[in-house]
Copies of this chain bind each other. A is one copy, B any other.
Amino acid sequence: MSRGFSSQLLDNAVSQFAKLPGIGKKTALRLVLHLLREERGEVRDFVESIRAVREEIKYCRCCHNLSDTDTCEICSNPQRDHRTVCVVETVRDVMAVEGTQQYRGIYHVLGGVISPMDGIGPDDLNIDSLEQKVADKQVEEVILALSTTLEGDTTNYYIYKRIAPYGVKITTIARGVSVGDELEYADEVTLGRSIVNRVPFDTTI
């Protein structure tokens, strides 16, 4: 009887839950005891949804976003502007940009950023397929939307060097003071960037 659990089955389930990020032993026990009080059918649905997402989900062959089909809903949507590609690190970033409802182009998910410290080089990312799209003249504009970290900037520069020779338009998302933020609390780099990249005053906003 390990850790005072009277059941090996319980012990196993708690240990498995506790492997999840941010879930400790106490929370894991609470979750498992909750599932034991649920109907068996409910727990089967829970288990099946996890099995299904891990076994059946695909990565879009076009943009590498998570998808139920070979080509994701965004890439297969004729309403979207297929000549504008927004390059992001992860599928969470796709969700974040989609959440703004301001973007009608398609995406390209790199799967991370170049980070020698973590052993991630350009070959570990979906950069070849991005270059191929550009080389095939399918793309007019590539928007770089990576993190403003050392790794993000390195990756931006690497991608720029790879695709600039094809004569594609390359932009990055604007950096500046957040909407609703007060100037005096903005950091100098962000404030400086927002002044350098100032835009014409728009009376419609």
Contacts and interface: CB of A to CB of B under 8 A. Distances in A.
11 contacts: A6-B91, A7-B57, A9-B49, A9-B56, A12-B52, A16-B45, A16-B46, A33-B90, A36-B54, A38-B54, A43-B51
A81 to B, nearest CB: 17
Interface residues of A, number: 59
A14 to B, nearest CB: 9
Interface in A48-90: 49-57, 60, 65-68, 72-74, 90
Q: Report copies per complex.
A: 2
Interface stretch (A24-32, A181-189, A190-198): A24-32
Contact of A49 (B12, B30, B46): B12
Interface of A: 1, 4-10, 12-13, 15-17, 19-23, 27, 29-36, 38, 40, 42-47, 49-57, 60, 65-68, 72-74, 90-92, 94-95, 98-99
A163 to B, nearest CB: 24
Nearest to A43: B54
A35 B7 contact: no
Contacts of A66: 5-7, 10, 36
A6 B65 contact: yes
B53 A35 contact: yes
A72 B12 CA distance: 17
A132 to B, nearest CB: 22
B98 A4 contact: yes
A173 to B, nearest CB: 18
A59 to B, nearest CB: 10
